[in-house]
Amino acid sequence: MIENIITPTPINGVLDHSTPPIIDRFGRSFNYLRLALNEQCNLRCIYCMPEEGIDFRSEDKLLTTEEIFRLIKIGSQMGVSKIRFTGGEPLLRKDLSELVQFAHQCEGIESTHLTTNGLLLSKQIDNLEKSGLSGINISLDTLNPEKFKIITRRNGLDLVLNSLHKAMESTIQSIKLNVVALRGFNDDELMDFVDLTEENDITVRFIELMPFDSHQIWKTGKFYGADHIVADIKNQVDELNPIDGSRTEHHIFRVNDYKGKVAVIPAYSRSLCGACNRIRITADGKLLNCLYSQDETNLRDAMRSGKTDEHIEKMIRGSMMKKFKDGWEAQNEGNNKRESMTQIGG
């Protein structure tokens, strides 16, 4: 199956490799495709999803394996070089290893990443490693089992920590921890997370809370701004040395001579929009040109109605060309109709 699609047998019409990169009217170029694989999840993080879940789309509305292959291939021919699978919880999708393998073997794709809550990772990591996964971001907001149960509404800290250890032992190059920083919840654990970087070559990323949950947890005083997080870390370490990171890792540091790194992501403050290189596709195949955009381009229906690769390419370029200067403008353009980050693809 994979071989058939990877070998140059274009589905409808060919995109050759001289295709120009994807750009917008502000001169940004986009080479990083984030694909949500589902909306379902085995946790219920309080800032992401209500206990009862959300109005999950039925299976037939979600992209199939072949449709995802096709979008990766079209993207790679337009200059996409980095893929991330997210969700929902991507490890709940049975074809995950197949998707990773496809992306890994696709010409032009230099790295393939996964964002996961880690609950099921330890069982699947060998397969993912063999499939060519380059990086894993594990989401973990606390190192305390009781607090884990409060924030995720489930048990499972031991499973996530076990997965983290297995990930660190694997040959997968990039291992990061995503920590949503919340005042009054985990602000007292900053140093516990930072200390994980002392002996481990991982990146701990503190992420600002964003207003995407239907229960609006973020209005309850838990927001903890990037500048405050950085200042609070600075106050508690001897040396915080700035280093290079990915485009959204605004503040990235090495503490003392620790092996790993610490990053702070201004996901709400949106101070990094000028450096954005991301294209997002939701689990039901809608392209979003910004995390905060309400405007969707329906690639799934275009594919299902028999449109050619050239047509899909034009849709992608057209959408990215309409991207607003920053996430504030994008947010102001519409009313938020989403109940959860899983409908965007975190």
Q: Which of residues 20-59 bind ligand SAM (CB under 6 A)?
A: 41, 47-48
Closest CA to 33 of 85, 70, 100: 85
Nearest distance from residue 253's CB to ligand SF4, in Å?
25
3-state class (DSSP) for residue 69: helix
Nearer to ligand SF4, 37 or 230 (CB): 37
319 binds ligand SF4 (CB under 6 A): no
Residues 264 and 250 sit within 8 Å (Cβ to Cβ): yes
| Interatomic CA distance for residues 114 and 65, integer angstroms | 16
Residue range at the interface with ligand SAM (CB under 6 A); choices 56-64, 111-119, 282-290, 322-330:
111-119
3-state class (DSSP) for residue 86: strand
3-state class (DSSP) for residue 128: helix
Residue range at the interface with ligand SF4 (CB under 6 A); choices 38-46, 77-85, 195-203, 247-255:
38-46
Closest CA to 263 of 235, 242, 293: 242
Output the CA angle 199-204-207, nearest 5 degrees. Answer: 165
78 binds ligand SAM (CB under 6 A): no
Residues 77 and 62 sit within 8 Å (Cβ to Cβ): no
Select from ligand SAM, ligand SF4, none the partner in contact with residue 178, using the beta carbon and a kind-dependent cut-off of 5 to 8 Å. ligand SAM
117 binds ligand SF4 (CB under 6 A): yes
Class of residue 264 by CB neighbours under 10 A (exposed 0-12, middle 13-18, buried 19+): buried
Nearest distance from residue 94's CB to ligand SAM, in Å?
16
| Interatomic CA distance for residues 107 and 195, integer angstroms | 39
Nearer to ligand SAM, 253 or 292 (CB): 292
Query: x/- binding map, residues 62-101, to ligand SF4, per CB under 6 A?
Result: -------------------------xxx------------
Tokens of 266: 């201004």
DSSP state of 223: B
- The residue from 15, 22, 35, 48 that contacts ligand SF4 (CB under 6 A) is 48
342 binds ligand SF4 (CB under 6 A): yes
160 binds ligand SF4 (CB under 6 A): no
Q: Which residues bind ligand SAM (CB under 6 A)?
A: 41, 47-48, 86-87, 89, 115-117, 139, 178, 180, 207, 209-210, 212-213, 267, 341-342, 346
